[in-house]
Amino acid sequence: MVEVTKVAYQVMWNRLISVVEEQAQALVRTAFSTSVREAGDLSAGVYNEKGEMLAQAVTGTPGHVNAMADAVAHFIRRIGRQNMFEGDVYITNDPWEGTGHLHDITVVTPVFHQGRFVGFFACTAHIVDIGGRGFGADANSVFEEGLQIPTMKFAERGEVDKTLVAIIRKNVREPDQLVGDIYALATCNEIGQRRLIDMMEEFQLENLDGVSDFILENSRTATLERIAALPRGATQGYMQIDGFSAPVDLRVKVHFEEDRIHCDWAGTSGLDKKGINVPLVYTKAYACYALKCAIAPEIPNNAASLAPFTIEAPVNSIVNAIPPAPVALRHVIGHMIPDTIYDALDKHLPGVAPAEGAGSLCNFQVSLRPRTDAPAPDYAVRSEVLTFNSGGSGARPTLDGMSATAFPSGVMTMPVEATEQVGPVMILRKELRPDSGGAGKQRGGLGQFMEVGAREGHEFDISAMFDRVDHPARGRRGGAEGAPTTIGQDDGTLMKGKGRQFVPHGRKVMMAFPGGAGYGKADDRDPAAVRRDLALGYISAEIAKSAYGISDTDIEDVLERAKLGEVF
């Protein structure tokens, strides 16, 4: 075996990152579910023989990849190294050993080079349907939420388990879509394996031991240096959010130590009766992500760079749910974890943490069927349509918040055309929501308006997955709150922020997604930025005057110049 230089190892590290990105893009191109193809709700990574993550794809979400970082160790334990063969493919959707709920399927593939086992590829994707009640918060236990696939072999030595496939097909509403997604997951791992083998042959590597040690040692050292440079101490963060039928309190104490940052969630609300509970693996994923974004954002994500960020939470708190707790909407609570940590971080490191944003994704699933109040046309069909959407992110210390952008999730908003293509749903309105971003020296990002209905001859149930209805995003350092979520039917009927709700034939659902909060006092905002916001329609004349003190004369001048197409 040839001696490898540090420069060569750095080249290999960069190559591994490109390999897993190609792996992820292969999944995007071949997946059946719109949540993967259009929103990028997935993750992909490569692991060493011990199951330690060496590199992750840029495409993907923190909740998937950071949770999946721990998943391969479970596969090793469940399958057993002695039972791993070339051509194997492993699978699970176990919420506690995967990525937090049954709607995420994780596929792991062992990699062999010249007949010798050298590591793993793993990937995860959110699938639209897994049976049970359907995607939503209504279940009372995980057993109601759908089909549970234990950690097992999907294929052994290249032979797919047809019995498993038959069981899966019999238990879900969209069998072709789900089975197609599983094959896409397996295929993207295979592509990753091919590219890895190409790299190993190019650099004449017999195994990944050397590059693994190089990646993990350098990542660990760099992360620890960042942590050691921070002031010692402990601060507390708090957030109250909607919950299902009662508010949820999130409490965290963040300890800044010499060689780690530790988050203790003691005092957080207990389990909810409905499916908004969070397995610890998902809590850990977003806690690590929040801290890494603030402390060491440019250090690549891997087992070593994540290790110094640790958490603990009381068993059967809402952020450490254990079986059989319902967990389908674990993201609604889990996506609020970073802002809770940032409440603590702002007290310890002023000028680093952004203001609160929408937090959780503004997702909903529409279950369409032929109308039942009158004869339905022959073309009416049953269909499940899931759409991912976002409110605004919070303003940052030196920049405005991002409008209609998912933070911390990072998934993309689904295009209207892609959503309408998969079922008889109609998106009648989708546009930015003026005045929804909280005022401040830096303005919060805007939320969105959406209006949803069904094509003629259909009625539907909508599973709402929203928060920030009663608890809008809070401003930081004097910034104003973001606008809250609203949801109702076009006849004025109010609807709940969470849960499955019936919408009669001909009715439409009107939604307004929340805005991010502002950072700093509105009096300190650059008047030119206020005029630009007014000209672009991000704020109304009323807000320009009441929140930012712009005179009536200036408002009239800006609006007149905007009509003429002047650029601000």
**What are the tens digits of pLDDT across the range 506-519?**
999 999 999 999 99
Full strand arrangement of the beta sheet holding 116-126: 53-56, 42-47, 116-126, 104-113, 89-92, 152-156, 159-160
Give CA–CA dist 79/82, Å, rounded.
8
pTM of the model: 0.96
Q: Are 386 and 135 in contact (CB under 8 A)?
A: yes
pLDDT in tens, the chain (568 residues): 567 899 999 999 999 999 999 999 999 999 999 889 898 999 999 999 999 999 999 888 998 989 998 999 999 999 999 999 999 999 999 999 999 999 999 999 999 999 999 999 999 999 999 999 999 999 999 999 999 999 999 999 999 999 999 999 999 999 999 999 999 999 999 999 999 999 999 999 999 999 999 999 999 999 999 999 999 999 999 999 999 999 999 999 999 999 999 999 999 999 999 999 999 999 999 999 999 999 999 999 999 999 999 999 999 999 999 999 999 999 999 999 999 999 999 999 999 999 999 999 999 999 999 999 999 999 999 999 999 999 999 999 999 999 999 899 989 888 999 999 999 999 999 999 999 999 999 999 999 999 999 999 999 999 999 999 999 999 999 999 999 999 999 999 999 999 999 999 999 999 999 999 999 999 999 999 999 999 999 999 999 999 999 999 999 999 999 998 887 8
So what's the pLDDT on residue 3?
77
**What is the secondary structure of 387-413 as a DSSP string?**
E----PPPPPSSSPPPTT--TTT-PPP
| Interacting residues of 449 by C-beta distance below 8 A, sequence separation 6+ | 429, 430, 431, 432, 433, 510, 511, 512, 513
Which residue, 249, 284, 243, is CA-closest to 269?
Answer: 249
Token pair 């630009």 in the structure block, residue: 532
Report residue 194 as tokens: 């091919």
Q: Cis omega (within 30 of 0) on the bond before 527?
A: no
Q: 369 by DSSP, 3-state: which? A: strand
**What is the secondary structure of 61-121 as a DSSP string?**
-HHHHHHHHHHHHHHHHHH-GGG--TT-EEEE--TTTTTSSTTEEEEEEEEEETTEEEEEE
Q: Are 118 and 193 in contact (CB under 8 A)?
A: no
Give CA–CA dist 369/457, Å, rounded.
9
Task: Give the phi and the psi of residue 119 in degrees, each rounded to 5.
Answer: 165, -160
Which residue, 460, 453, 462, 452, is CA-closest to 370?
Answer: 460
Give CA–CA dist 90/161, Å, rounded.
11
Q: Within 10 Å of residue 184's Cβ, how many Cβ atoms?
A: 24
Q: What is residue 442's DSSP assignment?
A: B
Give CA–CA dist 227/299, Å, rounded.
12
Half-sphere exposure at residue 273, Cβ-oriented, CA atoms within 13 angstroms? 3
Burial of 6 (0-12, 13-18, 19+ CB in 10 A): exposed
Query: What does R_g of the chain's alpha carbons equal in angstroms?
Result: 24
Q: Cα 49 to the chain's mean position, in Å? A: 28
User: Side chain identity at 422, as an amino acid letter?
Assistant: V
Give CA–CA dist 67/54, Å, rounded.
14
Pairing verdict, β 261-264 and 309-312:
parallel
Residues 322-362 have pLDDT tens digits of 999 999 999 999 999 999 999 999 999 999 999 999 999 99
Q: What HEC string does 312-333 produce? A: ECCCCECCCCCCCCCCCCHHHH
Q: Cis omega (within 30 of 0) on the bond before 324?
A: yes
Pairing verdict, β 363-370 and 309-312:
unpaired
Burial call 238-257: b when 16+ CB within 10 Å, e when fewer: ebbbbbbeeebebbbebebe
Give CA–CA dist 366/231, Å, rounded.
49
Report residue 12 as tokens: 């290999």
Report residue 152 as tokens: 């097992």
Give CA–CA dist 320/9, Å, rounded.
39
Report residue 320 as tokens: 């450490």
Q: Within 10 Å of residue 323's Cβ, how many Cβ atoms?
A: 13
| Interacting residues of 296 by C-beta distance below 8 A, sequence separation 6+ | 222, 223, 226, 227, 305
